[in-house]
Amino acid sequence: MGAASIAPRVLRYVLAAVLALLGAGAVLSPLPVLADPVSGAEHRVSALTGVTGHDSVRGLVDSVGLTAWPVVAIVAGVLVVLLAIAVAVTAASWPGTARRYGDGDAAATPSDPWDALTRGADPTGGPER
């Protein structure tokens, strides 16, 4: 998120959209496993036993133990979507780079005297050579 603070406003909205899509993917991807745990294990059971087909694999499986990881993925995805919403809502109020880094019509910066020396000027106000 640090890079987003110096990005132009349009890129902040793009970042928010990408974050929302990633969060939605994290929420949606474990849902089929939670709905039907055997389908989530079907590929692995088929690789170990050579039995293919959903009904055939279901006949082999007595029970399936779920871990907490699908729920953790859903919670993390929801948090990423909320972050994306926060970025989208607040992106317009973030300070721009012109104010932060002295671009454009910004006020004098502490480096101005050094820049004057580089140009050959006397920053103390004394006579110039």
**DSSP letters of the chain?**
-TGGGGS-HHHHHHHHHHHHHHHHHHHHTTHHHHH-HHHHHHHHHHHHH---SHHHHHHH-S-----SHHHHHHHHHHHHHHHHHHHHHHGGGSPPHHHHH--SSPPP-TTHHHHHHHHT--TTS----
> How far is 54 from 87, CA to CA, in rounded Å?
43
Q: Reply yes or no on whether the pLDDT at 75 is more than 90.
A: yes
Q: Where are the domains of the chain?
A: 3-94
Higher per-residue pLDDT: 125 or 91: 91
Which pLDDT band, with edges at 50, 70 and 90, does 78 fall under? Answer: very high
For the ranges 23-37, 42-56, 65-79, the lowest mean pLDDT is seen at 42-56
For the ranges 36-40, 73-77, 89-93, 111-115, the lowest mean pLDDT is seen at 111-115
Residue whose C-alpha is closest to residue 71's, from 37, 94, 95, 102: 37
**pTM > 0.75:** no
For residue 96, the model assigns a pLDDT of 67
